[in-house]
Amino acid sequence: MPEADVSKKDKCYQENVPQQTPGFFLKGCGSLDWGMKNRMAQVFNPKSGRTVMLAVDHGYFQGPTTGLERIDLSIVPLLPYCDALFCTRGILRSVIPPESQLPVVLRASGGPSILKELSNEEIAMDMEDAGRLNAAGVGIQVFVGGEFETRSIHNMTKLVDAGLRHGVPVMGVTAVGKDLVRDAKYFRLACRMIAELGATYVKTYYVEDGFETVTASCPVPIVMAGGKKLPELDALTMAYNAVQQGAAGVDMGRNIFQSDAPTAMIQAVNQVIHANMKPKDALDLYKTLKHGKA
Ligand code: 5RP
């Protein structure tokens, strides 16, 4: 019989001891095949080991989200400033110029809209299409603790099997149900399950208390999701703290494209992620760029 972990012993995450990364610059990726490593090296900068992914896939369940009403106008100008774009194949084919050299990670799950139970998702694209679209990866929601938890896990494991056949990395995304507490304990559970079940990397939310235990106990890279729009300094601080506490970058959406100055914001985020710029300095950079003084 499976048993819950009821040990009274304190857990020991050793968050100050980085996981060794033999065979590749990203943790947990040393045993991947060449094509998979090459695609990971397109998304994650091999020099910094980090990424700034721009998430614009929100329309797959909530339609024309604020800031994404016209992706051709609001997002295409931001492409030079990120390391990878996270979007749906519909937006890719209809709006993103194929001349773009930017790596693309494709949203591969979908089904319910915001009007229904969100965990009731299915795989929403074939891996063959990811190859056809020259994708550097695919991403899928996993609803640990959600109503359709098992279905969403199986969606991911099927996608992982297809990804392994085609050399395409899978990003598992921790999707939080309405009634679930977003704390380190929950994210440790969700991120670790996603990694153990085969995702190449994990996208999850930042938590103030104990985020370093989430990254330490996850054997593959974690990228931080941005979440709802915050004041610019708060968003820059969250991104800074996430990478200082072990994240391999961000996959941010609203905190960039809903900013008053998205082009300035994405450049400030870039400095925080790749150059360890302090949040207050990044805010100064944001303000300078916003007012056109750089
Ligand atoms: C939803 C997603 C979205 O891509 C992403 O999280 C949205 O980005 P943000 O929260 O930064 O607006 O994966 O779970």
pLDDT given for residue 180 in this prediction:
73
- Reference 219, options 32, 10, 8; nearest CA is 32
Per-domain boundaries in the chain: 37-290
Determine the residue of 138, 201, 203, 256 to mutate for testing ligand 1's pocket, defined as the one with the most ligand atoms within 8 A of the Cβ atom: 203
pLDDT given for residue 85 in this prediction:
98
Active site residue 178: no
pLDDT given for residue 90 in this prediction:
98
pLDDT given for residue 6 in this prediction:
80
Report domain 37-290's class: alpha beta
**Pocket residues: Cβ below 6 A from ligand 1:** 55, 57-58, 86, 141, 173, 175, 225-227, 252-255
pLDDT given for residue 7 in this prediction:
81
Could you tell me the distance, in angstroms and rounded to a whole number, from the CA of residue 58 to the centre of ligand 1?
7
Report d(CA 19, CA 26) in Å as an integer. 10
Q: Per-residue pLDDT tens, the chain, 294 aa: give them.
A: 567 888 878 889 999 999 999 999 999 999 999 999 999 999 999 999 999 999 999 999 999 999 999 999 999 999 999 999 999 999 999 999 999 999 999 999 999 999 999 999 999 999 999 999 999 999 999 999 999 999 999 999 999 999 999 999 999 999 976 677 889 999 999 999 999 999 999 999 999 999 999 999 999 999 999 999 999 999 999 999 999 999 999 999 999 999 999 999 999 999 999 999 999 999 999 999 999 965
Report d(CA 186, CA 210) in Å as an integer. 11
| Nearest-atom index, ligand 1, CA of 175 | 14
Ligand 1: which residue has its CA nearest to atom 7?
A: 253
Handedness of CA 259, 260, 262, 265 (dihedral sign): negative
- pTM of the entire predicted model: 0.96
Q: Which of 203, 228, 278, 280 is catalytic?
A: 203
Could you tell me the distance, in angstroms and rounded to a whole number, from the CA of residue 227 to the centre of ligand 1?
6
Q: Which residue has the tokens 């063959």?
A: 128
Ligand 1: which residue has its CA nearest to atom 14?
A: 175
Could you tell me the distance, in angstroms and rounded to a whole number, from the CA of residue 253 to the centre of ligand 1?
6
